[in-house]
Amino acid sequence: MGLVDQSTQCKLVCELFKDDPVKSPQRLELITHPGDLVIFNGDKLWHAVTPLGEGEERIALTMEYVTNPEMGTFKRLYSNLKDSFAYFGLRTVFKRALTASKRSRP
């Protein structure tokens, strides 16, 4: 759900049928506004957002639901790491980890 969108060209990009051998892939680019809610199965639909421009801001609330109640600790950790890298990028994830570890040192 979009909370803040102060951008000029921010879009939700989706590819339908990306891994379907029978159907042709279909790319969608959707403009969303604050308050819009989009629900989809993220394991079945390739999705991303377009990059922000200089000085732009976007805040979105994302939630994940798990359809397998027996998801183990390793799979949960993998899912969390995958989402962190996908949403924030490799550099940001490690920068946050390094900053946190420096703050916890006496």
What is the pLDDT of the chain when averaged over all its residues? 77
**28, 47, 63: which is the final residue of a domain?**
63
For the chain, the C-alpha Rg in angstroms (whole number) is 17
Angle between helices 73-88 and 90-104 in degrees, nearest 10: 110
Domain count, the chain: 2
Q: Side-chain half-sphere of 61: how many Cα atoms within 13 Å?
A: 7
Q: Say if residue 56 is in the same domain as residue 70.
A: no
pTM: 0.58
CA–CA separation, 23 and 4 (whole Å) = 35
Instruction: Output the pLDDT for position 54.
Output: 87
Coil, strand or helix: which one is 52?
Answer: coil
Asked whether 79 and 64 are in contact (CB, 8 A), the reply is yes
pLDDT (tens digit per residue) in 2-29: 788 888 878 888 888 888 889 998 999 9
Look at residue 64 and tell me whether its pLDDT is greater than 80.
no
Q: Say if residue 56 is in the same domain as residue 72.
A: no
Look at residue 71 and tell me whether its pLDDT is greater than 70.
yes
